[in-house]
Structure 1
Amino acid sequence: MTFLPPLAELRQRIAAGALTHEALIEQVLDGASAPEAAHVFTRLYPEAARAAARHADAMQAAGVPLPPLAGLPVSVKDLYDVAGETTLAGSVVCEGEAPAARDAAAVARLRRQGAAIVGKTNMTEFAFSGVGINPHRGTPRNPADAQVARIPGGSSSGAAVSVALGLAVGALGSDTGGSIRIPAALCGLVGFKNTQRRTPRDGAFELARSLDTVCAMARTVEDCLAMDSAIADAPLAVRRRDGVAGLRLAVPRALMFDGAEPAVGRAVERALARLSAAGALVVELPLNELAEIARINAPGGFSPVEAAAVHRHRIAVRRGDFDPRVAARIDLGMAVSAADYIAMQDRRRDWIARTEAALQGFDALVCPTVPITAPAIDDLKASDDAFFKANGLLLRNTFAINFLDGCAFSLPCQAPGELPVGLMLASVAGDDARLASAALAVEAALA
C-alpha cells in the first residue's frame, strides 16, 4: 500500500517548499489511472481539483493560514449529491434520474474548507452490504495483498482503496451498519463513525434513515478528526491524554469475539495486552444485551424495511437492473408490517437505554472491528452462501454500534506483514470527543 503522509507531515513539506498542492494533485490524478486503481473511482474531477490546489498554493505563497484540508486530495463516495449530476449510489437503476440541484451538505462543507475533491468513489449498490462487491461497476481490489485479489469491504469500498493507494488523504463515506469501519479494518486504515446527529445527511442517498451516518476514513485518527471537523462544521473538543494509563476499556467476549479467525484473535489479544501493559484498565464485561440484537431487529430488520421504503417504486419497474443480492434484502423489508416496524423501534429504544447504562464508567468498548480478514473476491462472487455468510460476519460487530446510535473508531492493529485487522473502540451517542481522546492515545500506544 502507498499511503500519502499524514496531514501534518504534508503541511510541513508544503510549508518547507518541498511540495506544492498542485504537484500533489497531479501525482494523484496520474495514480487514479494506474491499473491498481481500477474500479476505485466512478468519476474524476481533474480540473476542479487542480483549481483548488492552485488556489491553496496562491494562499500559501501569500502567507495566509490554510485550513487542514485546503488544496489536498479528498474523495467522495458515490452516495453524495454533486450539483448537476445524477447520484447513482453504485447502481445502474438510477441512470436517467434527475440530476442533483445542489451539493450534499457534507460535500459543500469540504469545498468551503478548500479540499481538492478528486473524484467520486465506487461502492456497493445502494450501500447495501459490508462486502464491497459491485456487479455493475467492478470491485476495487484490496491493496493489502499483492498475491490474492481480496475484497476491500463495503459499502465504502472505493473510498477505502482511494486512501490505501495514496489517492486521497481522506475519504467521505457513510456508515449504516459498518460501511466506514469495515473497509477501514480490511484495508489497514482508521475509520470514524461519529454519532449520527453530528453530521448532516442532506443530499446523501438514503439506505436506512434510522442508522445512516455521514462520516469519513483516513490514515490516522488525527486525519479522521480533520475530516470530521470539516463535514460537521465544528471540531470536537478533544482532550489530549498522556498515554493510555487509567483508560477503562470494556471487552465484551460474548458475540463480538465469536468465530474470530486465529489471525484476528492474535492481533486483537496482542493489542489488548499492550494496552494493559501501558496502564489501561482492560475489563471483561459480559454485556449480555448484545445477544438481544438479532431478536430485536426482527422481523426483517431496520435496513431492509427502510430500504424498501426508498426503493419500492424502482424495484417495481426495474427489478432486473438491481444486483440480485441487494434486491433479495429489499424483498425482506417489503414483507414487514407497519405494526412490526413500530414494535422494532420501541424495542430498540429500550435496548439502547439498558446498554448505555451497562457501559457507564467505561471510556470505550473494545473488540475486533470484524472477526475475519478480507476474503477473496472470486470466492464471494461465485457463491451466494459464501457471500451472505461473509456479509453477516463483517457486519455483526459494527452493526451493534449503529443499533446503539453510538460512535466508534476502527484502528489497525496487525503486525507488519500480516493482513489488516481492525480494533474497534466504541461508545454511546454523543461521546465522540471522549472517544476520540481515547482513540488518539490507543493509536499512539499501538504504534
Structure 2
Amino acid sequence: MTRSSTERLEEAFERATQRDHVFTRLYPEAARDAAAAADARRRAGISLGPLDGAIVSIKDLFDVAGEVTLAGSQALRGSPPADTDAAVLRRLRRAGAVVIGRTNMVEFAFSGLGLNPHTGTPGNAVDPALIPGGSSSGAGVSVALGSSEIAIGSDTGGSVRIPAALNGVVGFKPTARRVPLDGAYPLSPSLDSIGPLARTVAECASADAVMAGAEPQPLEPCQVAGLRIGVPRGLLFGDTEPVVTEAFERSLETLSRAGAHVVALAIDDLLEAMSAALPGASIAAIEAAAVHVSLLHAAAGDYDPRVRSRILRGAEIPAAAYLRTMQRRVELIAAMDRRLASVDAFACPATATTAPAIAPLLADEDAYHAANMLMLRNTAVGNLFDLCSITLPMAGTPRPAGFMLTARSGQDERLLSIAAACEGLFRR
C-alpha cells in the first residue's frame, strides 16, 4: 500500500535534521497541514494531479509571502518581505505540493561548485567532504538524501544539472521562456531558467508541467530504436576524468545496442564563436552587475568575495560591447538550432569530473576558479544557446556523474520522453 503524504513528510523531516546546511528554513506546521489535506483528498478519492502530496523543496531565491528573500546572501537582510509567493510556488501549491522548506544555495546563484561562507556548505550526498555542486546545492543533496522528493532550483549556467549530476539524481533545465521567473531573485535574466531535480524523469516532467502552467500528462518514453543522438566530441570532452569518460562511453554503447544511431556532431565552431563574442566577462556577470548595481558598494562587506569579484568584472563592460554580444548571441542561437536539426538530441557528460573535495577549493582561489569554470563548461552551452537539457545518473561510477542530453529550444516534452527511455535502459 502506498504510504501517506504525512508519513513520507515525517521521514523527510527526520532526514533533513541529519545533515547540516541543506536547508535554510523548514516549514513544519504549514507542510504538515498541506500533507494532511492531501491525505484527506486521497481518502475521498480526489486528486489535484501527480504532485498532490509530493514533498517539494524550493531554492532560497524564491519569494515566499511575508519572508525576506535572501538568495544565499547576507546583503539582502534589510530588504522588505515579499508581498506574494513566486509564480512557480503558487502553481506548486495549487497542484497540492507539500512545501517542506527552502534549500541552501551559492550566494546569488553565481557558482557551479556549491560553496557558501554565509549559510554553510551542504556536503555532497555521497561524501560530505566533497562539493555538492551549485548553485542549487541544497536541492541536489535534499533529493539524493530523501529530505525532499522534488526540489525546485534555478539554472543559469548549469545550476540544476550540476548538483543533480554530482549527487546522482535527475535534473532538468527547460527552455528559458517555459517557466515564469516572477518572484525568483535574478542572476542573469537572459539566461535564467527554473527547473526541477528528482529521482526520476517522470517526477521532473510532472513538476515542469505544473510550473509551466501546462496540464501534466503521463510521460511516455519514446522508442530508442531509430533515435539520432549526436556526440560533439572536442571542446566539451577535454580534461574529462577517466571514470566519467568510461561511464559515458558505456552509456552510449547501451543506447547503440538498443538501436539508437550515435553520430558525430560538430559544434566546436559555434562554441568558439560564442566565446569570442563575449566582451571580457560572461553574460551572467554583466547582467548580474546591473541587478546588483546599488548593493555592490553599499553592502560590499556582506558579499562572498569570490562572487563579488565576478560581478565586478561584469560591471566593467561598456553597454555597447554588451549589446554587440547579445546581437551576436541571437545569430549563434539560430546557427545552433540549424545544426541540431539533424539529431534528436546531443549527449555529453554533464560535468567533466565527479565532485572534487571542498577543502582544497577553500584554500586556493586559483583552484576554486579553475574548478568552477570546468564544472560549468558543458552545462552552460544549454543556457548560452537557448536550449533545453537534462542530466541522468550514470551507472558504475565510484562517485555520481551525469549523462546529459540537450535538445533544441522548445523541444522540452520531446526531450523528457527521450530521457525517460534512456533512463529505463540505464537502470536495467
TM bucket by the smaller chain?
Answer: over 0.9
Q: Distance in 2 between matches of 1:155 and 1:50?
A: 28
CA offsets, 1:358-386, max 9 Å, x none?
11121101001110110001111111111
CA offsets, 1:19-62, max 9 Å, x none?
2211221121122112xx20000011001100011101111111
Q: Equivalent of 1:106, from 88, 93, 104?
A: 88
Partner of 1:395 in structure 2?
A: 376
Q: How does 1:121-270 map to 2 (within 5 A)?
A: 121-145=103-127, 149-235=129-215, 240-241=220-221, 243-270=223-250
Q: Distance in 1 between matches of 2:276 and 2:343?
A: 26
Shift of 1:238: 7.8
Q: Distance in 1 between matches of 2:354 and 2:85?
A: 35
Does the Cα contact within 8 Å between 1:190 and 1:221 map onto a contact in 2? yes
Return the letter of the residue paired with 1:359: L
Q: Tell me, what secondary structure is at the counterpart of 1:198? A: coil
Shift of 1:446: 1.1
Matched, 1:69 2:73: no
Shift of 1:292: 2.2
Shift of 1:69: 1.6
Q: Distance in 1 between matches of 2:299 and 2:251?
A: 48
CA offsets, 1:170-213, max 9 Å, x none?
00100000000000000001000000111000000000000000
Does the Cα contact within 8 Å between 1:238 and 1:436 map onto a contact in 2? no
Q: Equivalent of 2:28, from 46, 69, 76?
A: 46
Shift of 1:239: 7.3
Partner of 2:385 in structure 1?
A: 404
CA offsets, 1:241-288, max 9 Å, x none?
454110000000011111101011001011011111111000011213
Matched, 1:33 2:20: no
Q: Tell me, what secondary structure is at the counterpart of 2:317? A: coil
Matched, 1:326 2:301: no
Matched, 1:58 2:40: yes
Q: Tell me, what secondary structure is at the counterpart of 1:197? A: coil
Return the letter of the residue paired with 1:25: L
TM-score normalized with structure 2 length: 0.97
Return the letter of the residue paired with 1:114: G
Return the letter of the residue paired with 1:68: P
CA offsets, 1:115-168, max 9 Å, x none?
1100000000000000000001100011123xx610010000001111011011
Q: Equivalent of 2:332, from 345, 351, 357?
A: 351
Partner of 2:347 in structure 1?
A: 366
Q: Equivalent of 2:322, from 337, 341, 345?
A: 341
Gaps of 5+ in 2: none
Higher mean alpha-carbon deviation, 111-120 vs 293-302, is at 293-302
Return the letter of the residue paired with 1:282: V
Q: Distance in 2 between matches of 1:208 and 1:54?
A: 38
Partner of 2:6 in structure 1?
A: 22
Q: Distance in 1 between matches of 2:351 and 2:285?
A: 21
Q: Distance in 1 between matches of 2:220 and 2:58?
A: 29
Partner of 1:281 in structure 2?
A: 261
Q: Number of residue pairs matched?
A: 426
Q: Distance in 1 between matches of 2:421 and 2:42?
A: 32
Matched, 1:304 2:288: no
TM-score normalized with structure 1 length: 0.93
Q: Tell me, what secondary structure is at the counterpart of 2:99? A: strand
Shift of 1:418: 1.7
Shift of 1:235: 4.0
Does the Cα contact within 8 Å between 2:222 and 2:418 map onto a contact in 1? no
Does the Cα contact within 8 Å between 2:49 and 2:216 map onto a contact in 1? no
Return the letter of the residue paired with 1:170: I
